Amino acid sequence: MTRPEDIARPTLERYQRHLFLKREKNGAPLSATTQASRVTPIRKRFRRLTRNNRVLYNPAADLDLPKVEERLPKHVLTIEEVERVLNLPDTTTALGVRDRAMLETLYSTGIRRMEIIGLLQRDVDCDRGTLMIRQGKGKKNRMIPIDDRALARVARYRDEVRPELAIAGDDSTLFLTVTGQAFSDNRMTQMVRNCVRAAGQGNIGSCHLFRHAMATQMLENRADVRFIQAMLGHADIKTTQVYTRVSIRALKDTHSATHPARLTRATLRPEDEPPPTVADLLEALDAEAQVEGETEEWGEFTGVVKMAPCVTEFRGRKMGTSYEKDVVAWANEQAALLRAGKFSALDIEHIAEEIEDVGKSERRELASRMAVLLAHLLKWQYQADRKGASWRATIREQRRALAEHLLETPSLKRSLTDEHWIRKTWADAKSQAIAETDLDVFPDACPWSMEQALDEGFLPD
């Protein structure tokens, strides 16, 4: 196929199955993140082609991405651990002054590696106590506070050390290497990692450690999650659209009141509303790259997304987001109303639709995994000369996942005896087997019961 219009939905589904079944050199399957990274550009490409009338329909419109496991970091630095790292550079030397300024900036602001590398001298406003982040992740600008301690370190570096380092053509980059150039990604990572290791923390990470630490500690000090989002430059946590904006004045006040480098502590959230957990925030931090990538594309596709007019208030927060405009914000509001017992305000019709969709999604996953299992059993039987550890591993993994799925959702067991479901699943399994073997000799009906296919000791002769 050489033209986009030649690609149909079945072709994309076969590609997804190929990714699902593909194995690394060590025999391990591709991670969900890797699979998603291969499929996401295809979805974006077809979205643009459809918008520009290059293709009549979008075959990737409803193409599901694999669920990416949300992994929390193994270690989040405590305040004491952060201070040990910050105190490590020798500030009697020029490079020690520079390194301390960079570490303080990372911790005070929580900015990303690419953002600290890209800082210019004019981005630091000592009078206002702010940093301007230009073209951060997602090509978005934002202004954020920087505390007095970090600002003093940066000012000393800029006034005393930077002029000595600016031996090459000066492009106004704030932090320079000994050769007068901007830091590369690897060089910045290595500098921070060396400090972390020397402080006795081991090989646990680099620049992002300070981002996690700042966000976690501010949240533990009861900062409103909206302000932390603004500091981090995130889209709304666990959503892919609608940015929550706050003023720089309010953001500075919150930063002063909740950052661990400050002495002041303030409660910014009503007592009757439990604050987000540290795990909630860390999940969002680890998922930010994928979330913001999707947000960027959808923002381009749909135009500017605005919140629908709000008609009620709950816990001082306006409610009434349209289901069609922002389903995630709508879901959060409905959950809050349910917990508060405000049943008359619920959007019952759409809640029912969402609950039904959950059931459909679970059934689709069951059918998809069963089809992969059956296809491999067919390959095992009809291509005996090609049997190998990879096929056996896939069969074992699908059986394990199916058993776990059925254990978590017992009502799905009814599908295993549903003739219509079995026929559809078998047809899908045959299609996979034919595509992967170039054989067309498989029986029209499944020769095994679903119970037999799930039996760990069963392999067809």
Q: How many CA atoms lie within 13 A of 174 on its CB side?
A: 27
Of the residues 229, 258, 287, which one is the last residue of a structural domain? 258
Domain assignment present for 307: no
pLDDT tens digits for range 157-208? 999 999 988 876 667 899 999 888 899 988 999 999 999 888 887 777 788 8
From the number of C-beta atoms within 10 Å of its C-beta (0-12, 13-18, 19+), residue 77 rates as buried
Domain assignment present for 326: no
Shared-domain flag, residues 105 and 204 = yes
Domain that holds residue 223: 79-258
| pTM confidence score | 0.45
Domain assignment present for 210: yes
Residue 197 known to be catalytic: no
Domain assignment present for 273: no
pLDDT tens digits for range 329-367? 777 787 878 888 877 888 887 777 777 666 676 788 888
Residue 208 known to be catalytic: yes
Shared-domain flag, residues 52 and 98 = no
**Phi, psi (deg, nearest 5) at residue 298:** -65, -35
- Sign, CA dihedral 391-397-403-406, equals negative
Shared-domain flag, residues 108 and 152 = yes
Shared-domain flag, residues 386 and 415 = yes
What stretches in the chain show pLDDT beneath 70?
A: 1-2, 67-74, 135-139, 168-170, 234-251, 253-254, 261-328, 356-359, 361
Domain assignment present for 271: no
Shared-domain flag, residues 10 and 110 = no
Residue 369 known to be catalytic: no
The active-site residue out of 17, 100, 112, 430 is 112
Please tell me the total count of domains within the chain: 3
The active-site residue out of 211, 252, 379, 430 is 211
pLDDT at residue number 208: 85
Residue 249 known to be catalytic: no
Residue 22 known to be catalytic: no
Shared-domain flag, residues 64 and 166 = no
The active-site residue out of 134, 197, 238, 243 is 243
Tell me, what CATH number does 105's domain have? Answer: 1.10.443.10
Tokens of 76: 């989040």
Of the residues 69, 89, 119, which one is the last residue of a structural domain? 69
Shared-domain flag, residues 98 and 243 = yes
Domain assignment present for 299: no
The active-site residue out of 208, 226, 363, 405 is 208
Shared-domain flag, residues 35 and 93 = no
The active-site residue out of 17, 98, 100, 234 is 234
Residue 234 known to be catalytic: yes
Of the residues 238, 258, 278, which one is the last residue of a structural domain? 258
**Phi, psi (deg, nearest 5) at residue 139:** 60, 35
Domain assignment present for 209: yes
How high is the mean pLDDT of the chain?
Answer: 77
Domain assignment present for 293: no
Per DSSP, the three-state class of 343 is helix
The active-site residue out of 47, 137, 140, 158 is 137
